[in-house]
Amino acid sequence: MASTNKTALITGGTNGIGKETAFSLSRKGINVTIVGQTSEKCILVSEQIQASTGNRVEWIAADLSTLNGIEYAATTFKEQHSNLHILINNAGAFFNQRILTEDGYEKTFALNHLNYFYLTHLLMDLMSESTPARIINVSSMAHTGIKVFDFDNLKGEKHFFGWDAYSLSKLCNLFFTYELSRMLSDTDITVNALHPGYVATGFATNNGPIFKLFTSIGAKLFAKKPERGAETTIYLALSPEVEGVSGKYFSNSIAIRSSHLSYDKTIASRLWQTSLNMITK
């Protein structure tokens, strides 16, 4: 298919939902760039997509759990492109143990939230020059597990439980989505979040052999295939039905309500400022 004049950047584009989304957007002729952790995986997936769609897929290898990695991804993309119409913040992971990044942040929070926040921040000028543009943040229904937001435990310094840290990061995705939507209300840039469902993506298999065994069995028995899990992401990226729609949370391509806590504007505003402080070196 001939290329369009639209450009998309997909983080976590070498596996699962991100990979399926990259395939789908490339089939539509959109100029796709994927971000993955290793150049080897990026090359493999980009060649697979090109062989299937006939369209070239660009790639950037970067560790998005670090501020340096996020900056490298943004800088590299800007060197290669003069516009960005679709930004899909999809990269994320679950960590069963508390790990601190080189910046001193808990890794779940750093990869699943600060990555979305900082990468979007760095690419906003490009998107402002490419309107209409769409930002899609992959969140999760796991956010509903957080009933109290503790700003004093964002690094897991008081207590740490892997699933709580993951749920917190997914709630942060929603605070970020809603706050950014309010800030962009007078622009032609929309931002929405989504719950992809339980998808067989290799999620959480990075936490040791026993954890890998149980998550792999669960995925085989209960999870959606990645192509189905990517449907809502693709819908938000491409569908004319959501043109101009912003500040919403979707599941199965339908706007639904997120948790009551996720709509707290005071927390959202404070988290925004806290995140700004964290990315300032």
Integer Cα distance of 115 and 80 in angstroms: 20
CB atoms within 10 A of CB 69: 24
Residue with tokens 């449907």: 231
What angle do the packed helices 265-279 and 162-183 form, to 10 degrees? 100
- Catalytically annotated residues: 166
Task: Give how far Cα 139 sits from Cα of 78, 143, 195, 214, 276, Å.
Answer: 26, 8, 5, 23, 20
Task: Give how far Cα 228 sits from Cα of 46, 105, 195, 201, 232, Å.
Answer: 20, 33, 12, 11, 8
In contact, 115 and 90? CB cutoff 8 Å: no
SS3 state of residue 212: helix
Residues in the chain: 281
Integer Cα distance of 147 and 270 in angstroms: 17
- Pairing of β 249-251 and β 86-89: unpaired
Within 129-187, residue ranges assigned H as helices are 162-183
- For residue 262, the 8-state DSSP code is G
Strands of 12-100, DSSP E = 31-36, 58-61, 86-89
